[in-house]
Amino acid sequence: MSERYLILDDGTVYRGQAFGSPATTFGEVVFNTSATGYQQIITNQIYHNQIIVFSQPSIGGYGIDRASYESIEPTCKGVIVRDVADVSTNRQRRLSLDEFLKIQNIPGISGIDTRALIHKLRSKGTVKGSIVDPVKDLAHAFDQLNAIVLTNQQVSQVSTPKAYPNPGTGLNVVVVDLGLKHGILRQLSQRNCNVTVLPYSCTAEQIFDLDPDGVILSTGPGSPADLPESLTSMISEVEQRIPLFAIGLGHELFAMANGAKVKPLQFEHHGDNHPILSIITDEIFYASQGQGYTVDRDSIDRNKMLTTHIDLVDQSVQGLRHRDFPAFSVQFFPDGAPGPLESSELFDEFIEIMTTRMER
Amino acid sequence: MDTMAMKRALTRITYEIIERNRGVEDLVIIGIKTRGVFLAQRIAERLKQLENVEVPVGELNVTAYRDDVHQLDNDSKLPGKPHFEFSLEGKKVILVDDVLYTGRTIRAAMDAIMDIGRPKRINLAILVDRGHRELPIRADFVGKNIPTAQNEKIEVSVSEIDEEDSVKIVNGK
Amino acid sequence: MARTKLQKILIIGSGPNEIGVDTELETATLQTIQVLHEAGKEVTFVSNNANSVAGDYLDPNHFVISDLDANSLINLLRNNDFDGLIPTLGGTPTFQLLHQLDEAGIFEQLNIRILGVSLKTIANTQNPEALNRILQNIHEPYIPTNILNETNEVLKFVRRIGYPVIVKPVAAISNNNRVRCENEHQLKQILASAFRISTTHQVAVEKSIVGFKEIEMTVIRDNENTRMLICAAEDFNPVGVHAGDSIVFTPTQTLTDQEFQAIRSSALRIAQEFKIRGICHVQFALNQSTGNYYVIRVNPYFDRTTAFAARATGYPVALVCTQISLGKNLRNITIPGLRQHDSLALIEPTLDHIAVRFPTFSFASFANANQELNTRMKSTGAVIAFGRSTEEAILKAIRSVDSTTTSEQAALDESRLNEGQLINVLVHPTAGEVFYLLEAIRRGYQVEELAELTKIDAFYFYKLIHIVQIEKKLRKNLFDASVLRKAKFYGYGDSQIAQLWKSSDEKVRKFREKNQIRPTFKGIEPTAGEFPYNNRSYYTTYETENESQISEKPKVFILGTANNQVGTNAAAEYVTVHMIQTCRDLGFETILINNNPNAISILPRLADKLYIEPLTVENCLNIINSEQPDYVVAQGKWQIVNDLSAAGVKITQLPLSRTSRAENVESNYLVVAEKNGDKQRNLGCFYTATDASLHFPSMASKQIATKLQHITQSEIRKQDEGIYSVMFKQEGSHLIVTGTIPLAVQDIPFMTYALNYDLVADMVKLSLNYSDCESKLKLTSAGTQLKLEHVFPYEQLQIPQPQNAPFSLAIGAKITRTQQ
C-alpha cells in the first residue's frame, strides 16, 4: 500500500495509506459514528462532496454487499478510516471495499488517528480537507485546498434527471428525488407501493397529473437554502391537496415552505445513537441521522405546525406536522440503512393516512 | 391489529382531530364505556403531549338510552342520566368508541349527550369500523376499516383492562 | 397489597467462584450497593463466597454469611423485614432458588417485591419450553424442539424443521450424548436405538444450529419501555463452543447492517415482551447462508456478557440498571463522565475501538482433562484487550496470555504438531485455538479451507493472515524501523518482536525509543469521540494523540493480577481492591493496570485511573514513564515483578505468598502474626482440619493457646517485617512448628473477615513505611464458628477430584458460619 496524506485547511497533515482510487480529492470533512453499515454510509448521496471519517475503527469486514447500496454511484469525495479490512469473500463472491472504491473513483486513506481527527472536527466545526499524494512540498496542495470552492449545487448533481417508475400494486406514491436514499424506496416496496420518482425540479402540476395518493420528499445533500424557491412553493401547493411525508433535506424544505428557518447545526449529527423523543406518544427511540442543518425551533409558526419529534441530546427539532393538512416530516432517516428500524413505522403511518383518505 | 398498529391509529386520529378542529379549543372527549373510555383517555394524553392542554374526558354509559335494551322489570338498575364534570354547552364533542357496527350505540350516546347539554358539534372517532350499519351514522375518524361478515365478531383488547392491545376477528358460532 | 415503601433491600450473591462464575457479579453488586446507598436505601447482601468484597461496603449486620439454599433464605427473609429483593446479581442459581421460594409462597406472604425482573419472567426465560412458546407468540424465531415417541412423528417433525437435527433419548438408561443427524437415513438408524434406551420411550429432537454464528446483545429497558442497546458482541467460535470459551469481539466484525438491525430489533422486542426493568442479555444464532437468526437464550440478569459490555463500552451498566430498579427512567438518569448534554444515559454506546474478550485456561494443572471445547465451559478466566484494529486487539489478547500463563494454557506446542494432529485441533476446537489457527496459516492453509474446517468467519482468517504476514516481515527484517513501526501499529508487543528478532525486550525497547515509536493512551468511553468525556480508563495504541492527563499528585501504580487463575483466584482480586483502597486512604492517586474484564478492581469507585492493558513489561514501563509514580506496588512476587525489577523498576512487593498456605504440610493450627519494626503481635489463631478446611476461632484449649502464642512470638522474631502464617502440628501436648510463611493470598479474604482486621491495609502500610498508623484489632463477637473450604473445578472439567486436592488448584472458596 502506498502512502498518502490527508491535509486539512487549518494546516494539519496526517500520514496514512492509500486505498480505493488514487485520485486527489477535496471535500468537507465530516465524521460518522455508526457502528455498522459502512457501505450504506458511503453510498448515501447526502455525502455528496464530502469526505467521510468513520469513527468505527475498522471497516470493510464483509466487502460490498449487494443489498446494501443506498445509491448505485456514490458521490462522496473520500473515506477516512483507521483500518480497512481487505476482505472480498463471504457468503457470496463480493467486491472488496477497496475494489469498489477504485471502480467508483473514490479515494480512501487508512491508518489515520481518526479519534484525534474527530476531536479536532468537534472543536473546529466545518473543515475542508484533501487526500493527496505524498510530496515533500505540500504548499501547492494547501494552495489548491484553500482555493477550492465547493459547489452548492449538490442536489442538481445527484437528483435523477428523468422520472422513473418503481412499480408496485398498492398505493400510488410520488417520490421527489433530492438525492434519494434507496432505503426509502425499499420501505415503499415492502408496502407494495407503486412509486414514481421525479426529479427535484418537478412542479406541483406534474405531481398532480400523476394523481398520487401521497408524496414523499426525499433526503439529500447540502443546504436547503441553496435550492430554488420553486421547490418550497411546490411543497406549499402539494401539501394542501395530497398527503405528504418529507425526510431529511425534504423535512428542511417542508419547514421552510411553512415559514420556518433552517440554520447550520453547530455539531452535525451523523450516526445512529441519539435518543429521539416522539412527543405525541412520549416514547424514545433511536434513528439514523445525517444532518448538517436544522430547523430553528424558535422560527416555527406554532399555529401552522406542530413539533412532533426532538433529539434529546441537543433538543433539536426532528419532526414536524402541519396542523391543517396530513403533511409531516422527520429530520432523521426512518428507513435506517444503516441504523435502527424503530421508526420505520412512520412509513406505515403514511400508508394509513393515504388509505384513510382513499376510503373516505 | 397489534399494539403498534393500534398506537399508530390513535396517533393518526389525534392528528386528524387537530387538523379538523384547527386546534383543541372547546374540545371535549367522551368515551363510551367500557373500552371507548380508555381510547378516549389515550387520545387526550396525546393531545396533552402535543398541545400541552388538558382536554376534558368524560365517561358515558349508554345502556339506558339503547333502543334494543328493553326495561325488563323495574328492579334492573339501569344507570340514569349521565353526568360530566364539565359543561357541554357550545363544546365540540369527540365521541370515542372501539367498534362501530350497527350505529345504535352511537345513536344512544348522542341522545344521552343531547339530554344533558347542547354541544356545538359532535364528531365520532372509532378504532374499528366493521360495517353493517342499521342507522345513517358515519365516523369522522376511523382507525381501521375491517369489513366483516355478520356472524363474525370484533374483539378489541386494551392493555388497561385486558392483557394486551389488539384487535381480533373472532368467528361467531 | 403492594408495598409502597422500598427501603430495605436484599441482594442475593452468587456463591463461590467456579468455572463460569468469575468476579463479574461481585463487580456489578458493588456498583449496585453504591447506588442504593446513595439513594438512602438499607442494603443487605447474602453470600457464601469467602472472597466477597461486598463486606467492605456494608456493616457486619448487612453482610450475611449464609448458605444459599431455600431454607436458609426463608429464614433470612422471615427474620428481616425486607421490602425488596434484587435477583439479578447471583446468576442462574439465584433464579432456581427464587423459583423454590416462590413456590413456597414466601414473597406473597412477606410482601417482598422482586426488582428488575418479575418471577414470571424468571420462570419463562429459564424454561426452554415456556421461552419458545412466548417467542412463538411474538413471532421471534426460536430453535424448534419437540419430545416425541414415534418414529413417524419424528420424521414428520424433522421434515418441517429441516436437517441437521440433534436427537437425544429422554431419561436414557445410560448417559448418552446428543447425536447429530444429517439425513433421514441416519435419523432412522439413530431413532431405533434412541427409543430403546429411553426409559420413557421418548426422544427429544431439535434443529441443530451447530456452526451458526453466535451474537450476544446486551440491552437495557426502563419502567416506561424505553429500550437501548448497550453492546452487540460477536463470538469468534460458532455455536457448539460455549460462549464463555469463545473469543468475543465488540463491535460486531462481520455483520451487515441488515443482519445487525434485525437482531437488534429482536433483542429490544424481547426486552419489552418480558417487561425487563434493567438488564437483559439475549443470545442469538445467525445462519450465515440464509441471514436468518434464532433466539437461543434470554438472560435477564448480570453475567459475563453484561460485564464485558460494561467494560468494552465504558457505559456504567449496573449503575444505570439499579436506578431503573428504584423506579427512575433512562431519560432522568445521568452518567458520570459525559461532560455535556446533561450526561444523558440515553445516548447509545458506540465505539471507536475494538474490544475482545479472550478465554484463559488452566489445563497445565489439569493435564488429564479433555481440552476440546464444547458446550460445557472450561476456561477458568478471561482477559479483555482493546485495539484500534482487529489485529491489535487479538495480538494484545494473545500477549496477555503469553506473558502470564503460557504454561497454564497447556496448549500443545503448536509448531510440533504433525499435519493430522493439526487438522484434528482445527476441526475440534481446542483450548488455545488461536495459536493453532496461526500455526495453520504459517503452514500455508488458505482462507476458504480454514473457514470450511472451523466454521469460523473468513474475515478472521484475513486478520490472522495479516498477523502472520507481519510476523514474517519481522523475522526477515531484523531491527528495521519501518517494519517495527508497522508491527507496533498493528499491535505487536515488544516481547513478541524480541522473540522474532531473537533479541531481548530491552534491545527492542531501546531501538523503538531511538526511532521515536512511542505509545499513546486513548480513553475508553461510549461515544466514539463525539462528546467530550472525562476519561478514567485508557488503553495503549501507537497513534498520534495521547489523551492521558498526568496529575502532579503523589501516586501509586498498582499491578493488578490479570485473569482469574486457579490458586490465587478471586482472592487476588480481593487483595488488589484492598490495596487500592488503602493507597487512596493514604492520600495517593491510585493508578491500576489490569485486564480481567470481570475484575472488581477496575470499578470506577476504586482506582483513580485505570489502564486496561496486558500486564507486560512494555506496558508497565510505558505507564511508569508517563505517570512517574512514587511507588509501584505488587502483591507478592511473580514473573512480571521479576521482569520489571530486572528492567530497573523499583517495586514494592507486599510480603505475600502467591502459592498457597503450605499444601502438604500437615498441621492443626495456624497463627497469623505480624512483625512491625521490633514490635510483634499475634492477630489470630485458626484451626486447620484434616479435610484442609480452615476454622475460626481455633477452639484450642487455654493451655494450647498460650503455648501457640509463645512459640509464634519466637518464630516471628526471626522474620523480616510482615504478616505470617505460622503452622503447628499437635502431637499430644507437644506443638511442632511445621512452617512459617508469608500470608497466602488465598487465605486473606477469609482471615480478614474472621479477624475483622484489614490485613492487606496493614501490609500496604508496612511496605510503604506508614507503619506508625497501626490499627487496633477489633475482634467480632464470639458464638459462631467460621469455616473456609476450597472449591475446585474438577467436576466441571469432568475429571475425578483427588483425595487431597492441592489448594493451588482451587478456583474459589466457600465460607460457612455455624453456631458454636
Percent of chain C with pLDDT over 70: 95
Mean pLDDT score, C212-226: 97
Question: For residues C33 and C13, what is the distance between their CA atoms, to the nearest angstrom?
Answer: 12
Over 80: is that where the pLDDT of C339 sits? Answer: no
pLDDT band at A170 (very low <50, low <70, confident <90, very high): very high
Beta strands A305-311 and A275-278 are antiparallel
Question: For residues A182 and A180, what is the distance between their CA atoms, to the nearest angstrom?
Answer: 6
Of residues A144 and C376, the one with the higher pLDDT is: A144
What amino acid occupies position B149? A
pLDDT in tens, C644-659: 999 999 999 998 887 7
Q: Between chains, do A349 and B4 touch, taking CB under 8 Å as contact?
A: no
Q: In this complex, which of C226, C229, C391 lies closest to A284 when CB atoms are compared?
A: C226
Q: Between chains, do B50 and A306 touch, taking CB under 8 Å as contact?
A: yes
Q: Considering only alpha carbons, which residue of chain C is nearest residue A337? A: C257
- Per the listing, cell 460485564 goes with C307
Distances (CA, A) of A324 to A150, A249, A305, B23, C674: 39, 22, 8, 9, 84
Q: Considering only alpha carbons, which residue of chain B is nearest residue A282? A: B49
Distances (CA, A) of C378 to A99, C90, C246, C373: 42, 20, 10, 7
Partner B contacted by A341 (CB < 8 A): no
Cβ burial, residue B134 (10 Å; 0-12/13-18/19+): exposed
Question: For residues C736 and C661, what is the distance between their CA atoms, to the nearest angstrom?
Answer: 17
Residues B2 and B163: beta-carbon distance below 8 Å: no
Partner B contacted by A210 (CB < 8 A): no
Residue B126 φ/ψ, nearest 5 degrees: -135, 135
Supply the pLDDT for residue C1. Answer: 40
Which helix (H) or strand (E) is C789 found in, with range?
A: strand C784-791
Question: For residues C274 and C142, what is the distance between their CA atoms, to the nearest angstrom?
Answer: 16
Supply the pLDDT for residue C660. Answer: 64
CA atoms in the 13 A half-sphere facing the CB of C373: 29
Mean pLDDT score, C387-396: 96
Instruction: Please name the residues between 438 and 467 in chain C that touch chain A, using a CB distance below 8 Å.
Output: 447-448, 457-459, 462-463
Residues C797 and C369: beta-carbon distance below 8 Å: yes
Contacts of B22 in chain A (CB under 8 A): 323-324
pLDDT in tens, C585-622: 999 999 999 999 999 999 888 999 999 999 999 999 99
The widest CA-to-CA distance across chain B, in whole angstroms, is 48
Residues A219 and A339: beta-carbon distance below 8 Å: no
Cβ burial, residue C560 (10 Å; 0-12/13-18/19+): buried
This complex has an ipTM of 0.97
Contacts of B51 in chain A (CB under 8 A): 306
Residue C661's SS3 state is coil
Supply the pLDDT for residue C404. Answer: 40
Supply the pLDDT for residue C306. Answer: 95
Mean pLDDT score, A229-242: 97
Q: Between chains, do A284 and C347 touch, taking CB under 8 Å as contact?
A: no
Over 50: is that where the pLDDT of C410 sits? Answer: no
Q: Between chains, do A359 and B145 touch, taking CB under 8 Å as contact?
A: yes
Is A129 marked as a binding-site residue?
A: no
Supply the pLDDT for residue C820. Answer: 66
Supply the pLDDT for residue C403. Answer: 44
Within 10 A of C587 (CB to CB), how many other CB atoms are there? 9
| Nearest chain A CA: its distance from B93 CA (Å) | 19
Percent of chain A with pLDDT over 70: 98
In C569-581, which positions are buried (b, 16+ CB within 10 angstroms) versus exposed (e)? bbbbbbbbbbbbb
pLDDT in tens, C236-266: 999 989 999 999 999 999 999 999 999 999 9
Q: Mutating which of A64, A86, A87, A97 best tests the C interface, going by the most C Cβ atoms within 10 A?
A: A87
Distances (CA, A) of C456 to B2, C146, C453: 39, 29, 8
Within 10 A of A229 (CB to CB), how many other CB atoms are there? 9
| Nearest chain B CA: its distance from A243 CA (Å) | 12
Percent of chain B with pLDDT over 70: 91
Partner A contacted by C341 (CB < 8 A): yes
Question: For residues C169 and C154, what is the distance between their CA atoms, to the nearest angstrom?
Answer: 12
Taking the C-alpha atoms of C790, C248, C317 and C404 in order, what is their torsion angle to the nearest 10 degrees? 50
Supply the pLDDT for residue C663. Answer: 61
Instruction: Please name the residues between 310 and 329 in chain A that touch chain B, using a CB distance below 8 Å.
Output: 321-326, 328
Partner B contacted by A348 (CB < 8 A): yes
Where do the domains of chain A lie, and which CATH numbers do they carry? Answer: 3-150 (3.50.30.20), 155-359 (3.40.50.880)
Q: At what angle do helices C433-442 and C458-476 cross, to 10 degrees?
A: 60
Over 70: is that where the pLDDT of C176 sits? Answer: no
Of residues B35 and C780, the one with the higher pLDDT is: B35
Mean pLDDT score, C777-794: 82
Q: In this complex, which of A62, A82, A314 lies closest to C388 when CB atoms are compared?
A: A82
Correct CATH for C128-139+210-313+315-348 of 3.40.605.10, 3.40.47.40, 3.30.470.20, 3.30.70.20: 3.30.470.20
Partner B contacted by A240 (CB < 8 A): no
Instruction: Please say if A335 is a catalytic residue.
Output: yes
pLDDT band at A136 (very low <50, low <70, confident <90, very high): confident
Q: Mutating which of C219, C250, C259, C261 best tests the A interface, going by the most A Cβ atoms within 10 A?
A: C261
Active-site hit among A213, A272, A311, A335: A335
Of residues B80 and C364, the one with the higher pLDDT is: C364
Q: Is C171 left (phi over 0), alpha (psi -120 to 50) or beta?
A: left
Over 80: is that where the pLDDT of C463 sits? Answer: yes
Q: At what angle do helices C639-646 and C390-409 cross, to 10 degrees?
A: 110
At the top level of CATH, the class of C8-115 is alpha beta
pLDDT in tens, C85-141: 999 999 988 998 999 999 999 999 999 999 999 999 998 998 888 999 999 999 999
Q: How many CB pairs under 8 A join A and B?
A: 49
Supply the pLDDT for residue A129. Answer: 97
Sequence ranges of chain C with CATH classification 3.30.470.20? 128-139+210-313+315-348, 669-819
pLDDT band at C180 (very low <50, low <70, confident <90, very high): confident
Beta strands A25-32 and A50-54 are parallel
Q: Quick one: how far is CA A280 from the chain centroid?
A: 26
Contacts of A306 in chain B (CB under 8 A): 18, 50-51
Within 10 A of A35 (CB to CB), how many other CB atoms are there? 28
Of residues A82 and B23, the one with the higher pLDDT is: A82
Over 60: is that where the pLDDT of C756 sits? Answer: yes
Q: In this complex, which of B5, B19, B50 lies closest to A324 when CB atoms are compared?
A: B19
Over 60: is that where the pLDDT of C62 sits? Answer: yes
Is A249 marked as a binding-site residue?
A: yes
| CATH no., domain C145-207 | 3.30.1490.20
Partner C contacted by A250 (CB < 8 A): no
Over 90: is that where the pLDDT of A234 sits? Answer: yes
Q: Between chains, do A284 and C261 touch, taking CB under 8 Å as contact?
A: no
Question: For residues C445 and C441, what is the distance between their CA atoms, to the nearest angstrom?
Answer: 5
Give the mean pLDDT of chain C.
90
Is CATH 3.30.470.20 correct for C669-819? yes
Question: For residues C744 and C568, what is the distance between their CA atoms, to the nearest angstrom?
Answer: 8
Question: For residues C54 and C189, what is the distance between their CA atoms, to the nearest angstrom?
Answer: 55
Q: Between chains, do A62 and C545 touch, taking CB under 8 Å as contact?
A: no
Can you say whether the dihedral through the CA atoms of C601, C603, C606, C608 is positive or negative?
positive
Q: Between chains, do B16 and A326 touch, taking CB under 8 Å as contact?
A: yes
Mean pLDDT score, C220-238: 97
Instruction: Please name the residues between 279 and 318 in chain C that touch chain A, using a CB distance below 8 Å.
Output: 288-289
Partner A contacted by C213 (CB < 8 A): no
C-alpha cell at position C182: 444429517
Partner C contacted by A148 (CB < 8 A): no
Mean pLDDT score, C795-815: 89
Q: At what angle do helices C617-627 and C639-646 cross, to 10 degrees?
A: 60
Over 70: is that where the pLDDT of C781 sits? Answer: no
Supply the pLDDT for residue C382. Answer: 93
Enumerate the H helices of C480-607 as residue ranges.
Answer: 481-489, 494-500, 505-514, 569-585
Highest averaged pLDDT of the listed ranges A295-304, C94-103, C182-191, C665-674: A295-304
Partner B contacted by A306 (CB < 8 A): yes
At the top level of CATH, the class of B3-171 is alpha beta
Over 90: is that where the pLDDT of A54 sits? Answer: yes
Is A180 marked as a binding-site residue?
A: no
Residues C453 and C443: beta-carbon distance below 8 Å: no
Closest CA to C282 of C238, C316, C231: C231
Residues A188 and A173: beta-carbon distance below 8 Å: yes
Give the mean pLDDT of chain A.
95
Q: Between chains, do A349 and B8 touch, taking CB under 8 Å as contact?
A: yes
Over 90: is that where the pLDDT of C376 sits? Answer: no
Mean pLDDT score, A173-195: 97
The neighbours of chain B, by the rule of 3 or more Cβ pairs under 8 Å, are A
Supply the pLDDT for residue B116. Answer: 87
C-alpha cell at position C137: 407468540
Q: In this complex, which of C254, C258, C349 lies closest to A67 when CB atoms are compared?
A: C258
Supply the pLDDT for residue C199. Answer: 81
Which helix (H) or strand (E) is C575 found in, with range?
A: helix C569-585
Partner B contacted by A357 (CB < 8 A): no
Supply the pLDDT for residue C415. Answer: 78
pLDDT band at A189 (very low <50, low <70, confident <90, very high): very high
Partner B contacted by A281 (CB < 8 A): yes
Q: Which of A74-83, C35-44, C154-163, C227-236 has the weakest average pLDDT?
A: C154-163
